[in-house]
Chain A
Amino acid sequence: MTPGDGRTGSAVGRPLRRIDARGKVTGETLFADDLSLPGMLHLKLVRASLPHARILGVETAAARGMEGVRAILTGADFLVPFGILPVSQDEHALCVGKVRFVGDPVAAVVADDELSAEEAAALVEVRYEPLATIASPEEALSTPEPRIHDYGDGGNVHKAVALDFGDVPAALAGADRVFEDLFFYQGNTHLAMEQHATLAYVDPDGLLTIASSTQTPHYLHRAAARVLGLPPARIRVLAPPQGGGFGGKTDPFNHEIVAARAALLTGRPVKIALTREEVFLCHRGRHPVLMRMRTGIDRSGRILGHSVETLLDGGAYGSYGVASTFYTGALETVTYRMDRYRFRGCRTFTNKPPCGPKRGHGTPQPRFGLEVQIDKICEQIGRDPAEWRIENATQPDTLTANWLEIRTTGLVRCLEAVVAASGWRERRGKLGRGRGLGIASSAYMCGAGLPIYFNDMPHSGVQLLLDRGGGVTAFCGSTEVGQGSDNVLALLVAEVLGLLPSDVKVVTGDTSLAPVDLGSYSSRVTLMMGNAAVDAASRARERLAAAAATRLEIPAERVGFGGGKLFDVSDPSRSIVFAQAVQLAEAAGGTVGTTGSYRPPTPKARFKGGGVGPSPAYSYSAAVVEVAVDEATGVVRVVKVWIAHDIGRALNPVAVRGQVEGSVYMGLGEVLMEEQAFCRLPPRLSSALVHRGPSMLDYKSPTSLDMPAVETILVENPEPNGPFGAKEVGQGPLLPIPPAVANAVHDAVGVRVDESPVTPEKVLAALRDPSRRFGPTTFPEVPWPEPVRVAPPWEGKP
């Protein structure tokens, strides 16, 4: 390792290997389902077979009588409701009173082994009184009764919001041209390779431990304490490394809480591992969203007014839905200048597995609409869509119409980079029939400006322990879902202390041993945990520098860190090794442990609903996609993707590239094939509304053969709010992919598929339709509330 100048370390910016790589290739990494304890019992949930029904009775006698059955639980054991958002505490670990979707858990069986639990579960009989099923948002709007929940904004509307930033109707009336389009973005699911699993146990001192595949141990901790009626200090939540999350493990889940109660009840460790089918039913994935967009432009193409209406199919529970609803409007303004902005969002309850956050939470849907609409506008007004984007891109250090604060932006550089790399100017329109190029750009947040429950505490905390042997251990409640957050933590601490990431041990995903980090969601970890880590490490550095300064007899400012040593920057030959510095510091001032924390700046937006959207920083992406469309079958093949991402600063360029490529991959899956879709069973089979194919056989995601070449360009433009200038990369690069594909299909064969996924069938249908379009044609009447009116910054105060 090269010591550098001692002022900055040598970890940031290098393509170092991940600290946790070996365990992964040897299969030694223990995921939740790999954990087992002596005497462990197994838990199975009995799930609703009807989509909407009152529970008249749960007969458990037959199951109870089976050999090996240890306990049976029902809704009566879980009367306290929970939910991720304080405003939607609408779930019970086991249903109380009624079931709301096929798969809703009604009872639970605990038995000696999995097979007995499964067999006994089949013997539990639930008597139902069926209720009318609400299958779609349209039905939810037209069917106020029966209500799926007795809260919300009336009937089966969960949440309806309206925000006006300036008078958009007036702007449209004064516009040179006004465009109106309808789009539909289909729901899809995370499909993390690891299925959820939980192991709960009570240790001899009565501490309840819940080890679970969760991205948000802190929120699970809160929900479990609430439902189980235990003081939080009596519960420890562990989040072992996860086999992918993508947002699918950010809610506290019923099975986690049931397992905990079962462990308390039986005094034995209790394990539950969901099947793939059950994971499809847990869902919390991308909301299906119907959108209406109206955009008015002036002669130069500038957006005078933009209006977005979204209708979300929320499924059976609240989950993150209120936030999701706001997110379908919040980031619409961050990429292109728009003078005025109007947003209407409505989330309805339906009798389907609940939707929630998936990579890009609520923003890929309107991003699809916006980017495709801009493509259409450019086509109509004869502008190159890349040029238009460059010309209209938002500028650094500005506010958007809805009061979001853009500090740094690399959008123009991203656009220019993909235009150059793809040969956009030379090649577009010249590829011949069946081949085409499409472009889109996007922005995403680096963590939400506000926490999920209101409080004034930090969003992330890091504690460091430096031991006499020179070992450094970093403790943080963050969770490693595969994105590499453990690695970022180690890397940043190492950077400040002049070490290598592999010199730093990390203890994460543990609510007892580590300070709170709110969780792996919202692209917040690198920025928030990262800042907390730098904070903690800087304090440790101060103490070590002071101790070394005394020993080396130089002022503390002259102490450099690097290569595992502390040295005189004016004469690097004078040095002490890191362990000695720790010992000197310990002798001088006691145990060397420091803490660091991070709380994002207070958002500028000061209106109701302004809590969703603000972020310490925004990342930007732009992509060009080349497709080949087979007009005989409608099959779309993606030939190549060029993507540029404004990362602020790449802490580890290969890890960043990995996140970009993974996002591109997921975006391609969503736009080409993935859909979480439902159908009604035939009447002889109860007519229940069921998942169309809760298996990987039916839910197709891309394999290596479907993946095109991806050229990734990292745009570095350090962000003052980010640790060493870094911004997020886990979610943003997904966003431009779906619209870029749709735009490329248009370029290739001249049809518009205004709906995801762009399946062969829809392409063929559009090719045969005189309108040359496939997509939604109506947007239902929605009872919008009275809007919150806020003038854009250039028209007044918030």
Chain B
Amino acid sequence: MPAGIRFLLDGKVRELDGIDPTWTVLDWLRGEERRCGSKEGCREGDCGACTVVLAELHRGELRYRAVNACILFVPALDGKALLTVESLSSPGEALHPVQAAMVECHASQCGFCTPGFVMSLLALYESEPAPSRERVNEVLAGNLCRCTGYRPIVEAAGRAFERGGGPRLAAHQAALAAQLFAIARTGTLVVEGAGRRLFAPRTADALADLLLEHPEAHILAGGTDVGLQVTKQHRELHTLVSLGAVEELSEAVRTRTHVEIGAAATYTDALAVLSGPFPSLAALVRRIGSQQIRNTGTLVGNVANASPIGDTMPALLALGASAVLRRGADRREIPLDDFFLAYRSTALQRSEFIERIRLPLPRPGLRFATYKVSKRRDQDISAVCGAFAVTLERGRVREARLAFGGMAATPRRAVACEAALLGKPWTEETVASVLPVLDGEFQPLSDMRASAAYRTLVARNLLRRFQAEAT
């Protein structure tokens, strides 16, 4: 097995060796290949102008996912097929149905955002036969357009699907699958160049070993946080160990008692199992980042990153989730309550990684909801995120777990407020009576997202809303 990165572009196998493992796919495309259809609008996963599509074999099936090329490191292409807007049509050839619809609907003014929209729609078109309007909007929310006001783009999507014709790339699916199969790798990918190196093992054991061997290494999951650290904060990451290719960690499953989400499971993967038992959490996850971010970012990465405003943590804390940590052959399971130690500091030790997150399935009588308050509906960092789980017994609170993000240096539970609720009737008056306790538990900061006063007020109002909605 050759050491270099191998992937498919326009039906050809491409091999890249000795490259800087933090080279982004966008820089490679625009700078090296001079394929300029993918645009740079922000370089941080916010605008979608750089959207490309990855086709990969997942449990034997071909799937297409839109991702942001600007924060994706080239090694992530290994074993996959890369599609850019140039892959869709050559001059003179007929346009792909989504492109044709974009032309007909006047969905392009300046056109700078257009290739990105085309690629987002392409991934949808090739994977879902008849998405709802809502689903189309969800997919498009990761692409900014400053000219059109979006209506014509949404209309173009509708028209492309209405006209049908089914997946356009389907004709080549078998060939593509065969090619992907041929470049599939069994051992660890090692990429070294420009003084940096990256290991991408295939198994959890190999991952554990590599981390023991390289205790200084940074773990790379989807890279939606790490990518920004490189492109924006210019952090020097010399050794990276990527867990994205560890198939056994990409599982998101529902057991009899738990939902278990592996470290390599993307938000998109996780959604499939969260929607049933935790609709409110699923709704929140659908608002994290954008479709592109959800296609690469992981829930476990959100936890490991331990940002005080990470969106999933309040819900996980309220639901009593635990993390399975692994170091070498040793495993330990700790409640998330004990995971966040201080600002961006966690219980993870050197060479240790989170293998998966375990979420107990809701018991009967559990009321749960999580809310995110931000300026923009999608793809925006929360000012405040709240999650509440309350179990009632004959109208009284038997158990309460209230957790907040954006209110302290870590995502944190409001334990005093929880205690104050115990045994009380679950009424508006009870909640009003414990609000002063809640106020006393947090001293949030004022920053550009919100002032301390606003956060405090919203935290209160979210709890009141939960009570009103969950009776």
**In the complex, A710→B155 CA distance in Å?**
13
Residue from the list A244, A276, A665 in contact with B112, Cβ < 8 A? A244
Beyond A30-B36, A655-B106, A700-B380, whether A195 also contacts B41 by CB under 8 A is: yes
Residue A71 interfacial (CB < 8 Å):
no
B residues near A242, Cβ cutoff 8 Å: 110, 112
Residue from the list A18, A192, A673, A764 in contact with B375, Cβ < 8 A? A673
List the B residue with the shortest CB-CB distance to A659.
B109
Contact A761 B108 (CB under 8 A): no
Contact B150 A665 (CB under 8 A): yes
Beyond A241-B111, A693-B448, A764-B457, whether A654 also contacts B106 by CB under 8 A is: yes
A residues near B271, Cβ cutoff 8 Å: none
Contact A25 B152 (CB under 8 A): no
Output the least CB separation between B404 and chain A (Å). 14
Residue from the list B41, B150, B373 in contact with A194, Cβ < 8 A? B41
Residue from the list A23, A28, A276, A658 in contact with B42, Cβ < 8 A? A276
A residues near B451, Cβ cutoff 8 Å: 761
Q: Give per-residue flags for B171-183: 1 if the beta carbon is below 8 A from chain A beta carbons, else 0.
A: 0000000000000
A residues near B379, Cβ cutoff 8 Å: 703
Q: Give per-residue flags for A691-724: 1 if the beta carbon is below 8 A from chain B beta carbons, else 0.
A: 0110111101111111101100000000000000
Contact B34 A25 (CB under 8 A): no
Select the stretch in A170-178, A297-305, A338-346, A476-484 that faces chain B.
A476-484
A residues near B151, Cβ cutoff 8 Å: 661, 707, 709-710
Select the stretch in B11-19, B96-104, B294-302, B417-425 that faces chain A.
B96-104
Residue B141 interfacial (CB < 8 Å):
yes
**In the complex, A703→B103 CA distance in Å?**
21
Select the stretch in A31-39, A101-109, A501-509, A555-563 that faces chain B.
A31-39
Output the least CB separation between B454 and chain A (Å). 4
Q: How large is the interface on A (under 10, 10 to 19, 20 to 34, 35 or more residues)?
A: 35 or more
Select the stretch in B81-89, B311-319, B362-370 that faces chain A.
B81-89
Residue A21 interfacial (CB < 8 Å):
yes
Residue A411 interfacial (CB < 8 Å):
no
Residue A229 interfacial (CB < 8 Å):
no
Residue A392 interfacial (CB < 8 Å):
no
List the A residue with the shortest CB-CB distance to B35.
A27
Contact A276 B376 (CB under 8 A): no
Residue A666 interfacial (CB < 8 Å):
yes
**In the complex, A275→B42 CA distance in Å?**
7
Contact B95 A193 (CB under 8 A): no
Choose among B112, B379, B381, B454 the residue with the greatest number of A CB atoms under 10 Å from its CB: B112
Residue from the list B146, B150, B461 in contact with A632, Cβ < 8 A? B461
**In the complex, A193→B104 CA distance in Å?**
22
Output the least CB separation between B15 and chain A (Å). 23
Residue A525 interfacial (CB < 8 Å):
no
Contact A703 B47 (CB under 8 A): no
B residues near A665, Cβ cutoff 8 Å: 146, 148-150
A residues near B152, Cβ cutoff 8 Å: 658, 661
Residue B465 interfacial (CB < 8 Å):
yes
Choose among A20, A244, A765 the residue with the greatest number of B CB atoms under 10 Å from its CB: A244
Q: Give per-residue flags for A244-274: 1 if the beta carbon is below 8 A from chain B beta carbons, else 0.
A: 1010000000000000000000000000010
Choose among A18, A276, A484, A709 the residue with the greatest number of B CB atoms under 10 Å from its CB: A276
A residues near B47, Cβ cutoff 8 Å: 193, 696
B residues near A28, Cβ cutoff 8 Å: 37, 91
Q: How large is the interface on B (under 10, 10 to 19, 20 to 34, 35 or more residues)?
A: 35 or more
**In the complex, A36→B373 CA distance in Å?**
44
What is the predominant secondary structure among interface residues of chain B facing chain A?
Answer: loop
Select the stretch in B113-121, B213-221, B435-443 that faces chain A.
B113-121
List the A residue with the shortest CB-CB distance to B464.
A632
B residues near A210, Cβ cutoff 8 Å: none
Output the least CB separation between A43 and chain B (Å). 15
**In the complex, A276→B110 CA distance in Å?**
18
**In the complex, A31→B30 CA distance in Å?**
12
Residue B288 interfacial (CB < 8 Å):
no
Output the least CB separation between B293 and chain A (Å). 11
Residue from the list A661, A666, A672, A760 in contact with B373, Cβ < 8 A? A760
**In the complex, A31→B110 CA distance in Å?**
10
Contact A21 B110 (CB under 8 A): no
Residue A610 interfacial (CB < 8 Å):
no
**In the complex, A665→B154 CA distance in Å?**
14
Contact A26 B89 (CB under 8 A): yes
Residue from the list A20, A24, A703 in contact with B144, Cβ < 8 A? A703
B residues near A25, Cβ cutoff 8 Å: 95, 99-100, 102-103, 108, 111, 114-115, 118
A residues near B115, Cβ cutoff 8 Å: 25, 27
Output the least CB separation between A30 and chain B (Å). 7
Residue B192 interfacial (CB < 8 Å):
no
Please report which residues of chain A, range 650-674, place their CB below 8 angstroms from some CB of chain B when the two chains form the complex.
Answer: 654-655, 658, 661-662, 664-666, 672-673
Please report which residues of chain A, range 575-634, place their CB below 8 angstroms from some CB of chain B when the two chains form the complex.
Answer: 632-634
List the B residue with the shortest CB-CB distance to A26.
B89
List the B residue with the shortest CB-CB distance to A641.
B149
Contact B150 A707 (CB under 8 A): yes
Contact B461 A276 (CB under 8 A): no
Contact A18 B106 (CB under 8 A): yes
Contact A662 B450 (CB under 8 A): no
Output the least CB separation between A12 and chain B (Å). 17
Contact A664 B149 (CB under 8 A): yes
Please report which residues of chain A, range 342-380, place their CB below 8 angstroms from some CB of chain B when the two chains form the complex.
Answer: none
Contact B375 A700 (CB under 8 A): yes
Contact A26 B381 (CB under 8 A): no
Output the least CB separation between A102 and chain B (Å). 16
A residues near B211, Cβ cutoff 8 Å: none
Residue A759 interfacial (CB < 8 Å):
yes
**In the complex, A113→B137 CA distance in Å?**
39
Residue A191 interfacial (CB < 8 Å):
yes
A residues near B378, Cβ cutoff 8 Å: 703, 705-706
Q: Give per-residue flags for A192-228: 1 if the beta carbon is below 8 A from chain B beta carbons, else 0.
A: 1111000000000000000000000000000000000
Q: Give per-residue flags for B357-398: 1 if the beta carbon is below 8 A from chain A beta carbons, else 0.
A: 000000000000000010111111101000000000000000
**In the complex, A482→B109 CA distance in Å?**
5
Residue from the list A481, A484, A654, A704 in contact with B140, Cβ < 8 A? A704
Residue A243 interfacial (CB < 8 Å):
yes
Output the least CB separation between A214 and chain B (Å). 14
Choose among B88, B100, B106, B153 the residue with the greatest number of A CB atoms under 10 Å from its CB: B106
Contact B448 A679 (CB under 8 A): yes
Residue B145 interfacial (CB < 8 Å):
yes
Contact B376 A703 (CB under 8 A): yes
List the B residue with the shortest CB-CB distance to A246.
B146
Contact A695 B42 (CB under 8 A): yes
Contact B376 A193 (CB under 8 A): no
Residue B49 interfacial (CB < 8 Å):
yes
Residue B356 interfacial (CB < 8 Å):
no
Residue A680 interfacial (CB < 8 Å):
no
Contact A243 B95 (CB under 8 A): no
Residue A29 interfacial (CB < 8 Å):
yes
Residue from the list B38, B137, B146, B462 in contact with A701, Cβ < 8 A? B146
Contact A704 B111 (CB under 8 A): no
List the A residue with the shortest CB-CB distance to B116.
A193
Beyond A17-B103, A193-B39, A705-B141, whether A24 also contacts B148 by CB under 8 A is: no
13 A-B residue pairings within 8 Å (CB atoms): A22-B103, A114-B31, A193-B49, A193-B146, A241-B111, A243-B113, A244-B112, A633-B462, A658-B148, A662-B149, A693-B448, A701-B376, A760-B375
The 6 closest A-B pairs by CB, nearest first: A482-B110, A27-B37, A243-B112, A24-B111, A665-B149, A661-B149
- Given contacts A27-B36, A243-B113, A704-B150, could you give 18 more A-B pairs where the C-beta distance is less than 8 Å? A21-B108, A191-B146, A192-B110, A193-B113, A194-B41, A243-B112, A482-B111, A483-B110, A632-B461, A632-B464, A633-B461, A633-B462, A634-B454, A693-B448, A696-B44, A701-B146, A703-B150, A707-B149
Q: Which residues of A contact B (CB under 8 A)?
A: 17-18, 20-31, 33-34, 36, 114, 190-195, 241-244, 246, 273, 275-276, 481-484, 632-635, 654-655, 658, 661-662, 664-666, 672-673, 677, 679, 692-693, 695-698, 700-707, 709-710, 759-761, 764-765, 768
